[in-house]
Amino acid sequence: MDKVKRFQRQLLQLEPIEFLGVAKILGVQFFEDEEEKEPRDFEVVFGEVCGKYAALNRRQRRNLDKLLRPVVKELSK
């Protein structure tokens, strides 16, 4: 299975606050403009999170996977 597709499935299993944490780790912005505080659409944020994950090197990707694995396992019980 493609690693990015597996990551997407894991993201969809997360609680919203956990998803926001992963997005924050990857440096994704939640607002269009810091002054106006206009929130970005979920689809845009989700796509950017997946894109940034795909751009990570193997070691960074593995570390993020290790972080997510126990959370996703616990949520799937």
Tokens 């926001």 sit on residue: 20
**Residue with structure tokens 């997946």?**
50
pTM of the model: 0.85
Q: How confident is the model at residue 73 (pLDDT cuts 50, 70, 90)?
A: confident
Give the tokens for residue 13: 């299993």
pLDDT, residue 76, reads 73
- For residues 14 and 72, is the Cβ–Cβ distance under 8 A? yes
Average pLDDT, the chain: 90
